[in-house]
Structure 1
Amino acid sequence: MSLYISLSERLKTQHLTIEQLVANISNDKLTKLSAPGKWSALDNIAHLARYQKIFIARIHLILNKDTPVFDRYNGDLDPDFTPFRLMPLAELLDIINTDRTTIVNQLSGLNEIELSRIGVHPKYGRLTILKWAEFLVLHEAHHLFTIFQLVNGTE
């Protein structure tokens, strides 16, 4: 068990899509809510920045504790998410890029035994670190599509 090529490449590059999706998009469009209670494109980017920090902490815990159990992450219930929502786009992109380098370096340095360590997700059950990494990029892809829809939608 190791970081397979498709996972490794997505970890290294998928987040770079954000900058392409929002290039030349006005701040008004980035911050526009599609509906009451829904996140804007910028909120989705802030969520991705915050979630990477959650991910780094979870991997650290999985490596240092036997089979930790995690609550489902909900940005709306996370008081530490609020400061991210107030950050400008450039700062969020810097955080995402810096933390992604940390994640790639952390995961690339793990051996097979470490990649096999388990953390328990409330919906998906017992996940190895490798599966947590896959979850990260799939979760991110979902938000990338949401960002795409928000900045390209017409109203």
Structure 2
Amino acid sequence: MKIYTSLSERLKTQHQTMAQLVAGISNDKLTTPPASGKWSALDNIAHLARYQKIFTARVHQIINEDTPIFDRYNGDLDPEFAPFRLMGLAELLDIINTDRAIIFDLLSALSDTELLRIGVHPKYGRLTIIKWADFFILHEAHHLFTVFQLVNGTE
């Protein structure tokens, strides 16, 4: 049971959408939050850069431990998220591209047995690594849509 083709392709390429969504957008537009307490487009990209590291660590934990239980990730409560919010767009995109290659290679190299290992999400319950990868990609897509809305003035 290798990763199915659609998931593999999205893992390989979906993150590249970010650069296209923000091409030609002013830094002012990227960094202006839509409302008090809400994240700007750049904050959403910073969140995705940070979350890739969280996801990679979780996959390793699922591989190395029996059915680990994870807390729901909240960037606003993560002190390691703050430095990502201070980075510029080019640096964040470089981190995302580098880390995505690591994620893709990690998941592609897992055995069928490893892909079926379980980690427990607080809302979605017992998820195999493949389901965690589905969740990761869908979570990223949600933030890509948010960035689209923010830079196109619809949110």
TM-score (norm 1): 0.99
Q: Which residue does the alignment assign to 2:101? A: 101
- 1:2 paired to 2:12: no
- 2:81 maps to which residue? 81
1:141 Cα offset (Å): 0.2
Superposition misfits of 4+ residues, deviation over 3 angstroms: none
1:64 maps to 2:64: yes
Name the aligned partner's letter for residue 132 of structure 2: W
2:92 maps to: 92
Task: Quote how far apart the aligned CAs of 1:125 are.
Answer: 0.2
How far did 1:82 drift? 0.2
- Name structure 2 gaps, 5 residues minimum: none
- Which one-letter code corresponds to 1:59 in the other structure? V
What is the aligned partner in structure 2 of residue 117 from structure 1? Answer: 117
Residue in structure 2 matched with residue 131 of structure 1 by the alignment: 131
CA distance in 2, matches of 1:68, 1:144: 28
Residue identity opposite 1:102 in structure 2 = I
Pair 1:22–1:118, CA change in 2 (3 A): same
Query: Paired residues, what number?
Result: 155
Please say if 1:35 is aligned against 2:43.
Answer: no
1:15 aligns with 2:28: no
CA distances 1:91-146 after superposition (whole Å, capped 9, x unpaired): 00000000000000000001110000000000000000000000010000000000
CA drift at 1:2: 1.6
Residues 52-90 of structure 1: CA distance to partner in whole angstroms, max 9, x if unpaired? 000000000000000000000000000000000000000
TM-score scaled by length of structure 2? 0.99
**Counterpart AA for 1:6:** S
Give the aligned partner of residue 143 of structure 2: 143
| Secondary structure, aligned partner of 2:80 | helix
> C-alpha displacement at 1:154, in angstroms?
6.0
Distance 1:99 1:90 in 2: 14
What is the DSSP-based 3-state SS (H/G/I as helix, E as strand, rest coil) of the residue aligned with 1:39?
Answer: coil
User: What CA distance in whole angstroms lies between the structure 2 residues aligned with 1:153 and 1:9?
Assistant: 29
Once residues 3 and 46 of structure 2 are traced to their aligned partners in structure 1, the CA distance between those partners, rounded to angstroms, is 27
Structure 1 unaligned segments of length 5 or more: list them. none
Q: Give the aligned CA root-mean-square deviation in angstroms.
A: 0.9
